[in-house]
Amino acid sequence: MLTIKCAKCKTKLYKYHKIGKGKLLKSHKTRIKKIYNLKKEDRQYKCSCGNAVGTDEGEFIKMSNQAFTYTGTKES
């Protein structure tokens, strides 16, 4: 499980079940397990500080490179 954090203010955003060892380019909504801090404005998902971390693409969130960091392990 990964904990996704805002790259700007380091606030925890959500927990994500990542499958595979590749880069985190998308977050599938069904694999988001717990939301700490994430708000949606139009099609953008933002941290409470206003940093946009991704764009809504329907079934997944397309992640903005360098807008987030994460800790934890990826499932293979």
Residue 61 is a binding residue for Zn ion (CB under 5 A): no
Count of residues binding Zn ion (CB under 5 A)? 7
Q: Are 38 and 56 in contact (CB under 8 A)?
A: no
Q: Are 68 and 4 in contact (CB under 8 A)?
A: yes
Closer CB to Zn ion, residue 35 or residue 49?
A: 49
Residue 53 is a binding residue for Zn ion (CB under 5 A): no
Residue 6 is a binding residue for Zn ion (CB under 5 A): yes
Residue 2 is a binding residue for Zn ion (CB under 5 A): no
Sheet arrangement for strand 26-28: 26-28, 60-63, 52-56, 44-46, 39-41
Q: Applying CB under 5 A, which residues contact Zn ion?
A: 6, 8-9, 11, 47, 49, 51
